Amino acid sequence: MSSLKFSLIQSSLFWEDKEANLSMFSEKINSIDQPTEIIVLPEMFTTGFSMQPKRFAETMDGQTIDWMRRWSAEKKAIITGSIIIEEGGKYFNRLIWMLPNGQLGYYDKRHLFAYAGEDEKYSSGNKRLIASVKGWKINLQICYDLRFPVWARQQMNEEAEKEYDVLLYVANWPEKRNHAWKTLLCARAIENQCFSIGLNRVGEDGNKIAHSGNSMVVGPLGEVLYHQAQDEAIFNITLQKEEVNNTRAQFPFWKDADDFKIC
């Protein structure tokens, strides 16, 4: 069965300092000394969770996109993480999915964090992005999306095939609510019978909000395969497609699921 290799970079961020963050992540990516297929960076990895998009937004042909394209080609791996993008006079918290051949996909954060005023500064996305890699399908989401299970819920086609095998979140999730983060990552894996991956930052941001990391990889039965709190870390993990397939075959709970549509 197919395997898939992830490298998760849990890191502190320089507040609203793109050049410093790109330099720092260049060093971290360059230090990955084993073959990998997907390198995961945090939410808003060039700025931290900034509510000043007018100052820091880039375009889809800007510096950070070029930087991701270069490193993806260099490492022969997909690189993903979210940045601030301006498009059509609107601002988006946009996850970039950069392929080694220079092509890319993107996902605009659906659920904007009104508690911090994100909904006043950014525009919400309305489409999910499910990427395909080596026969795997990966549902890409951002931080606060984790609290909304309908947006992540598996849907099946007429052949009863599941939409995805991995649910991936990049985040700037505060330490004060880390219990919800850890609990919901396990819940999303269990209810969707998939791997769930949550990559969070560490350190204090410019608003004095602390982030404890707690990046995790969770198996389709809810078992925690990796957990790292507080410290910066680069973690490499190989997932096996057979584990998802066997779980779904042994426990076919999906047959009893409710039909629904996302409007």
Q: Which residues belong to the active site?
A: 43, 109, 143
What is the three-class DSSP state of 229?
strand
Closest by Cα among 38, 14, 37, 36 to 25:
14
Tell me which amino acid residue 95 is. Answer: L
Residue with the two structure tokens 């019978």: 193
Answer yes or no: are the C-beta atoms of 200 and 213 closer than 8 Å.
yes
Q: Please, which contacts does 173-182 make with residues 24 or more away whose CB atoms are closer than 8 Å?
A: 173/143, 173/146, 173/198, 173/200, 173/211, 173/214, 174/209, 174/210, 174/211, 175/210, 175/211, 175/212, 176/210, 178/212, 178/214, 178/229, 180/147, 181/146, 181/214, 182/214, 182/216, 182/227
β-sheet bridge partners, residue 4: 239
